[in-house]
Amino acid sequence: MHFAERFFAVKIKGGIVIGNELTIYNSEYIMTTPLEKQEYIIYKMMYPGLYILAGAPKIGKSWLALDLCMSVANGEQFLKHDTNIGQVLYLSLEDNLLRLQNRIYELTDEPCENLNFAIEAQSIGNGLEEELEKSKQELPDLKVIVIDTLQKVRCNTDVNYGSDYKELSVLKALADKLKVAILVVHHTRKCYDSDPFNMVSGSTGIIGSVDGIMVMIEERRGSGKAKLHCAGRDIEHMELCLEFSGHKWNVVDDVPERQPDLFSFAIHDLMVDEKRFTGSATELCKLMYTHFGREYAPNWITRNLVQHTNELKTYGVLFTARRSHGARILDLIYDQSGDSKNGSLLWVEIADHAGTRSSENVYLPLFEAGDGKTEGDGICDSG
């Protein structure tokens, strides 16, 4: 095959396809195209992708992994973080059914329809990928797959960067394809390091290939106290102090309460008043300040409009961005017939200078009084 036949370029909207794999996107396309928003599985801790949970042998990693599975399966909080309910598959490859049965009974006496287990699986490159793809077909709402442990599915005994990265990349690609989180339970080294992520057993190829990593470091052997270090591409770096009680790891820290994303509410309420806007991001920021008395940066507001485009549609707000004489123009149109809230104002915490906000036209579920006993920010019922 000649060079010219193997390498070719085809122009597409916003980019160029070169050959069979390389697609080049220009910055205009990336910055203005509404993309599918990644939904969290565990708020601030886990999104679809590949994750490692590492810790010393017998520290209680499997108890933490099982608790994670049960929390997602039931839609309950995990370590004080919200979860999105979905089906879960736990590959408990170091257990038999009796041991697994005993573990489950230590945590609950009620079976959960979303919680599924397997005690055998093929190795990476020898059928595991096909098994997990079939599992996704059988469990269409599958959100989390736990592999306990990595060593049980490895086909390569070499410990070097290349082999580690290659094997984990297979699982990373599978997680992306199935749009699930794959959590792999792994071990840490015996030697201590001031950076807990350097204690993960194996080469740096393991850390480099995953989307997120959680490392459990016990205060001292058998103390029942540990610190969970979390870091990743799409998750916040955090350290959680844990204590083991009732066969569960529990957070002893105060975890900041999750704040709602009010951007779409603010844009919706603005457009209920304005009906239509055409102009620059700077002009929109000035208009937002007039209505809400808060300062916004033009690049911040443009990014959020792009990233909230689909959500805004459910509130009857249509957003597009275009170029005119070299400048980016934002177009916003409000159509009450497409508004799922039928024109009710959503962001009641901000007083409207125009005086159009009142309890009569506020979306009631967001306007509930607290008990008067707890000081808050006005967002939560208790405030």
Q: CB count, 10 Å around CB of 258? A: 13
Residue 383 has pLDDT above 60, yes or no: no
Are residues 185 and 217 part of one domain?
yes
Phi-psi map region of 238: left, alpha, beta (phi>0 left; psi -120 to 50 alpha): beta
Residue 322 pairs with which residues in a beta bridge? 329
Closest by CA position to 330, among listed 286, 364, 363:
286
Kindly state whether residue 383 falls inside one of the protein's structural domains.
no
pLDDT at 340: 92
Give the domain-ending residue among 251, 282, 297. Answer: 251
Give the domain-ending residue among 228, 251, 274. Answer: 251
Residue 257 has pLDDT above 60, yes or no: yes
Kindly state whether residue 137 falls inside one of the protein's structural domains.
yes
Closest by CA position to 343, among listed 317, 319, 380:
317
State which H helix or E strand residue 28 sits in.
helix 27-32
Residue 16 has pLDDT above 80, yes or no: no
Global pTM reads 0.80
Average pLDDT, the chain: 86
Residue 252 CB-density burial (10 A; 0-12 exposed, 13-18 middle, 19+ buried): exposed
Kindly state whether residue 381 falls inside one of the protein's structural domains.
no
Task: Give the integer Cα–Cα distance in Å for 348 and 56.
Answer: 49
CATH number for the domain harbouring residue 101: 3.40.50.300
The HSE-up count of residue 58 (CA atoms within 13 Å, CB side) is 5
Question: Confidence class of residue 10 from pLDDT cuts 50, 70 and 90?
Answer: low
Q: Dump pLDDT digits (tens) for 177-231.
A: 999 999 999 999 988 888 999 999 988 889 999 999 999 999 888 899 999 999 9
The residues near 296 (Cβ < 8 Å, ≥ 6 apart) are 285, 288, 289
Question: Confidence class of residue 350 from pLDDT cuts 50, 70 and 90?
Answer: very low
Are residues 273 and 170 part of one domain?
no
Are residues 125 and 55 part of one domain?
yes
pLDDT at 20: 65
Closest by CA position to 308, among listed 343, 282, 360, 270:
270
Kindly state whether residue 374 falls inside one of the protein's structural domains.
no
Are residues 160 and 72 part of one domain?
yes
Are residues 165 and 309 part of one domain?
no
Are residues 359 and 217 part of one domain?
no
Are residues 164 and 247 part of one domain?
yes
More confident residue, 325 or 16: 325
Are residues 314 and 245 part of one domain?
no
Cα torsion 61, 67, 71, 72 to 10°: value is: 40
Are residues 78 and 208 part of one domain?
yes
Measured in residues, the chain has a length of 383
Residue 100 has pLDDT above 90, yes or no: yes
pLDDT at 158: 76
Give the domain-ending residue among 251, 286, 317. Answer: 251
Are residues 16 and 100 part of one domain?
no
Residue 261 has pLDDT above 90, yes or no: no
Closest by CA position to 367, among listed 353, 380, 354:
380
pLDDT at 365: 39
Kindly state whether residue 234 falls inside one of the protein's structural domains.
yes
- Which tokens go with 349? 């915490």
More confident residue, 325 or 69: 69
CATH number for the domain harbouring residue 335: 1.10.10
Task: Give the integer Cα–Cα distance in Å for 45 and 342.
Answer: 35
Q: CB count, 10 Å around CB of 128? A: 19
Task: Give the integer Cα–Cα distance in Å for 187 and 375.
Answer: 44
Are residues 28 and 61 part of one domain?
no
Average pLDDT over residues 289-294: 88
Q: CB count, 10 Å around CB of 315? A: 23
Task: Give the integer Cα–Cα distance in Å for 166 and 155.
Answer: 11
Task: Give the integer Cα–Cα distance in Å for 181 and 100.
Answer: 22
When divided into structural domains, the chain yields a total of 3
Amino acid present at 373: K
8 A C-beta contact, residue 243 and residue 59? no
Task: Give the integer Cα–Cα distance in Å for 77 and 81.
Answer: 5
Question: Confidence class of residue 373 from pLDDT cuts 50, 70 and 90?
Answer: very low
**Residue position matching structure tokens 């390389």:** 22
Kindly state whether residue 56 falls inside one of the protein's structural domains.
yes
Question: Confidence class of residue 366 from pLDDT cuts 50, 70 and 90?
Answer: very low
Q: Dump pLDDT digits (tens) for 26-55.
A: 888 888 888 888 899 999 999 999 999 999
The residues near 180 (Cβ < 8 Å, ≥ 6 apart) are 48, 136, 142, 143, 144, 145
Are residues 155 and 64 part of one domain?
yes
pLDDT at 17: 63
Kindly state whether residue 378 falls inside one of the protein's structural domains.
no
Chain centroid to CA 33: 20
Question: Confidence class of residue 4 from pLDDT cuts 50, 70 and 90?
Answer: very low
The DSSP string of 270-330 is: HHHHHSEEEE-HHHHHHHHHHHH-----HHHHHHHHHHTHHHHHHEEEEEEEEEETTEEEE
Question: Confidence class of residue 175 from pLDDT cuts 50, 70 and 90?
Answer: very high
What is the domain range of residue 354?
A: 263-366
**Residue position matching structure tokens 């597009």:** 320
More confident residue, 337 or 257: 337
Kindly state whether residue 181 falls inside one of the protein's structural domains.
yes
